[in-house]
Amino acid sequence: MTRIHAERALVEGRELADVVIEVTDGRITAITPGGSAENADLRLGTVLAGSGNAHSHAFHRALRGRTHDQGGDFWRWREQMYAVADRLTPDSYERLAEAVFAEMLVTGWTTVAEFHYIHHRPDGTPYEDPNAFGTALTRAANAVGIRLTLLDTLYLSSAAGKPLLPEQSRFGDGTAEAWLERWQRLHQTHAVGAAIHSIRAVSPDDIALVAERVPAEVPLHVHVSEQPAENEQSLAAYGRTPVQVLADAGALSPRTWLIHATHLTDADIALIADGGAGVVMCPTTEADLGDGIGPARELADAEVRIALGSDQNAVIDPWLEVRGLEAGERLRSRQRGRFSPADLESARTSSGYAASGLPGGLRIGACADLVELDPGSVRTAGAALDQLALAATASDVRRVVVGGRVVAEDGRLADGRDPAAMFTQALKELG
């Protein structure tokens, strides 16, 4: 058993002082306020629960600061993304992901749901180990100490009824059955979830097969309605919106998480709520790509869980995702306080963890993942503890704890490695 003493901590929305947190096997087993620190305790100052990153494409980080010079939209950006994907090998991706996961960790993301769809060689033929990329990503996460749920992704078509484009060849397994066979092998040895790339990439029949064959306890993620063109294509092909396609295929349930959900109808929101599915919003990415602002308040009013993700990793900072969720709502409504601080904390912590199939938040039974923030920086001085996430940035993260163990401190990993240097070296190797 490990003991942690926090001078103050935000525990399920309440500010408590001199909090003793007991940890066994990486989980919180007791939380006691008003306790005294012991010599062997890990002593922290101002503590919040760790942040759950519910959606990431680690290799997109290679595009940061390189796609802004000629305008365009999501579809133009996608061409540049494919060019990066084409250059990756399992070895180079492992080092790139290690740097990206390190950056996540030092900013306060303590778990990540990695939406992983690069599986094979550029021509689509499998490696000797068909899960070479997935294994590389797992090694990368273990090497830095972040929790990883690997969302191995089914990707079969470029659009409804159309084959993969040449630049998408390495994403596909040919059939849903072949993907399920490879997924089962991965599931035996890895902390793995499942993902359907999108309605563009998987037919309704194959969606139904995945919903039936992937075990009910496994998280299932899918990109939904990120772009109006996606809705238009779905209506033309199937006479239904993407959400309606998922509902009819039996793929909307409490284990389902819909990524982006930016362009929804009222009927879509009702279907999501009725199915018990959650939504992952990625405010910095949706802004960067010009996707639009999703109906977060309407989803929350329908009692849909909302989580947050870094997606393309043009920004890696959970505190900016929190503010982006609220800021988007303020821009849409011209009103402040669309989400309470407690709502935003749930999106950052417990909902983000739930999307990875894990218990999160600062509560008994949750993963013992914590973030210590500087409450007296130029950004945070004077902020109330329950509103600290609306003032802080990644620069205010002092120490990061995963499973009761310090894994990062003052912008570096616990072993002293600098994520910036790691990324610079990985980018050189990528070319």
**Helix, strand, coil share (%) of the chain residues, nearest 5:** 40, 25, 35
Distance separating alpha carbons of residues 61 and 79, to the nearest angstrom: 15
Question: What DSSP string runs through 52-115?
Answer: EEEEE-GGGGGGTTSS-SS---HHHHHHHHHHHHHH--HHHHHHHHHHHHHHHHHHTEEEEEEE
Map tokens 């990324």 to a residue: 423
Positive or negative torsion for Cα 102, 103, 109, 114? negative
Whether the Cβ atoms of residue 80 and residue 312 lie closer than 8 Å to each other: no
CB 148 within 8 A of CB 112: yes
Residue 111, SS3 per DSSP: strand
By annotation, the residues acting in catalysis are: 260, 311
Total residues belonging to the chain: 431
**Residues 137 and 56: beta-carbon distance below 8 Å:** no
CA distances from 18 to 28, 36, 265 (A): 16, 7, 47
